[in-house]
Amino acid sequence: MKKISSKYVVWLVFGLAFMIGFFHRYSIGIIADPLREDLLLSTAGISLLSSMYFYTYGFLQIPCGIMVDAQGPRRVVLMGMSAVFIGSIFFALSPTPFLLYIARALIGFGAATVFTSIFKIQALWFKPTEFATIAGMTAVIGNVGGMLATAPFYHLTNALGWRGGHLILAIITVIPILIIYGWITDRPPAETDTKEDKEEHKNLEKNIEKPPQKQPQKITEGLKVVVSNPYAWVNAVILFMVFGSYMSFSGLWGPHFLRYVYEIPLEQAANLIMIYMAGVLIGSPAIGMISDRLQKRKRVLQAALFLLVAGWATMILILPVFQKMWLLMPVLFITGAVSISPMLCFTNTKELIPQEYTGIATGFVNMAPFFGTSVINSLFAWFLRTEETAATYQAGALLFLLAAIIGFTASFFMKEGLEAKVSKIH
């Protein structure tokens, strides 16, 4: 069977898998009420059900990265998406909460394989000078999945119920499985029709299809290379702080922070979070593109993190004094746009680690945002332990400012890695 030779189509198919995984991440909130009614789940049970995904996803990042480097992204994603498929069917048919938890963990396990795989695909198919742009687009495609899990999923489950909704998700999951199985290779195929592809593949010669390496000593060696690299740790710190705050703000505390501190109804606050998310969606590819154009990761990230510090300071300390809503909107948008800038940390890590270990490196740094979110969420809750007021929300939100300052400071310890890669290719 003739294989796909367009890097954009390959990326898009892996992107669809990433989108499906992201969809599941945010899908429980919408179906919480019917789940409560049908399976008598308590609020704690709903929260555990949602968390099952995050725990498996976070903890499996390194093992998934190891598998990706050893087996190649194609096989790993085929296995992962099959787990998502089976998990979705189990979820849809589950007669008891226990089976529902197992199904959710299976979905989390499957979804966990995709991020490290898509980064490996990007490393094998795209030029180093395109990497940050395509990584930014990957974040967009994931977030679109997250957005589809809101109103559109609400309407779907209204029409078909939560079981029907999950059966539809299972059917959609078959699409990337079939395309990846039949038409996609890990690396650009040696045979290709178009002149552009031939030219491009000549530049990425070392990536041309060859069997993946499987030696076990490679795994230990890869882990050693990644964990002993101080710059991978710097990137992990930035991701822990900045993505931890981003997920904590957009996923949990943001609406209530705006509601109390700006004295607005919760519905308006939730709409304002959409402005922050619009910033994320536009900022992600824009920052990647700027970084690729300038061929700089560190400087671009520093500039973005400086704006992030300014954005949080304005939103938390300055604007509440004046209560100017028309000023809050652009500040939210800009803060969202620069909150996603640490996507450059994945790119930077990939550039500092040999390509054969891109999977392990991506998995290693991608654990940080998940731990960051749980730590920041808990610390924020500590500020609200006695009462929920504008003052306690403002105090909790200072964590975001502090995290941005730490992230900005850490960015001075980054090492630029793109120049070396570009000079090797030309």
Ligand X SMILES: NCCCC[C@H](N)C(=O)NCC(=O)O
Residues at the site binding ligand X, with contacts judged by CB under 6 A = 115, 139, 142, 146, 243, 247, 366
CB of 218 or CB of 257, closer to ligand X: 257
CB of 219 or CB of 247, closer to ligand X: 247
User: Cα–Cα distances in Å, from 266 out to 247, 256, 261, 357, 409?
Assistant: 19, 7, 11, 45, 34
Amino acid at 96: T
- Among 214, 236, 334, 346, residue whose Cα is nearest residue 278: 334
CB of 15 or CB of 417, closer to ligand X: 15
Q: Any residues with CB less than 8 A from the CB of 86 and at least 6 apart, and which? A: 106
CB of 281 or CB of 401, closer to ligand X: 281
CB of 222 or CB of 244, closer to ligand X: 244
Min dist CB 126 to ligand X, Å, is 17
Min dist CB 14 to ligand X, Å, is 13
Rounded-to-integer distance, Cα 8 and Cα 66, Å: 25
Min dist CB 368 to ligand X, Å, is 10
Min dist CB 307 to ligand X, Å, is 18
- Among 15, 51, 58, 13, residue whose Cα is nearest residue 243: 58
Min dist CB 167 to ligand X, Å, is 25
User: Cα–Cα distances in Å, from 381 out to 126, 385, 388?
Assistant: 42, 6, 10
| Long-range contact pairs involving 189-197 (C-beta distance under 8 Å, separation at least 24) | 189/3, 189/5, 192/5, 193/5, 194/5, 197/5, 197/6
User: Cα–Cα distances in Å, from 311 out to 5, 234, 315, 390?
Assistant: 43, 22, 6, 19
Amino acid at 195: K
Min dist CB 219 to ligand X, Å, is 21
CB of 53 or CB of 218, closer to ligand X: 53
Burial class of 200 by CB neighbour count within 10 A (0 to 12, 13 to 18, 19+): middle
Min dist CB 199 to ligand X, Å, is 31
Min dist CB 12 to ligand X, Å, is 16
CB of 157 or CB of 366, closer to ligand X: 366
Min dist CB 142 to ligand X, Å, is 4
CB of 105 or CB of 204, closer to ligand X: 105
Min dist CB 17 to ligand X, Å, is 12
CB of 349 or CB of 366, closer to ligand X: 366
Rounded-to-integer distance, Cα 148 and Cα 384, Å: 31
CB of 142 or CB of 288, closer to ligand X: 142
